[in-house]
């Protein structure tokens, strides 16, 4: 069993919080004396606080900067969701 205290600020990790839970990508934003602010990347970004002693079942990997850069291209790709204004304006 691991805990959030092992994670470094500014880094992205793939973790499993519980034994049979899904794999989640997180980023550690801020580290205080007792807690950590993290961003959880799922369907949408969600920021939350975790106690440093909160359990993590498994830290699968620390994601390197090149892989994070590649992942961001897909996660933040807004071109797929643009609405074409001309579509509804046909007369």
Domain for residue 91, yes or no? no
Question: Is residue 75 domain-resident?
Answer: yes
Residues 29-69: pLDDT tens digits? 999 999 999 999 988 899 999 999 999 999 999 999 999 99
Provide the domain limits for residue 68. Answer: 2-79
pTM for this one? 0.79
The number of distinct structural domains making up the chain is 1
Domain annotation covers residue 59: yes
Q: Domain for residue 85, yes or no?
A: no
End-to-end CA distance of the chain: 63
Q: Please check whether residue 87 lies inside any domain of the structure.
A: no
CB 45 within 8 A of CB 39: yes
Residue 37 lies in a domain: yes
Longest CA–CA separation in the chain, Å: 63
Q: Is 62 left (phi over 0), alpha (psi -120 to 50) or beta?
A: beta
- Sign (positive/negative) of CA torsion 14, 41, 17, 5? positive
Local confidence band at 75 (pLDDT 50, 70, 90 cut-offs): confident
Instruction: Evaluate whether residue 90 is within a structural domain.
Output: no
Rounded CA separation 18/83 (Å): 39
Residue 86, domain member (yes or no): no
């Amino acid at each position: 069993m691991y805990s959030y205290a092992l994670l470094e600020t500014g880094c992205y990790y793939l973790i499993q919080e519980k034994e049979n839970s899904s794999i989640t990508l997180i980023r550690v934003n801020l580290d205080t004396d007792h807690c950590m602010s993290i961003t959880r990347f799922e369907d949408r970004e969600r920021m939350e606080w975790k106690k440093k002693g909160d359990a993590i079942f498994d830290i699968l990997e620390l994601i390197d900067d090149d892989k994070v850069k590649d992942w961001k291209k897909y996660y933040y790709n807004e071109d797929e969701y643009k609405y074409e204004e001309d579509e509804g304006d046909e007369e």
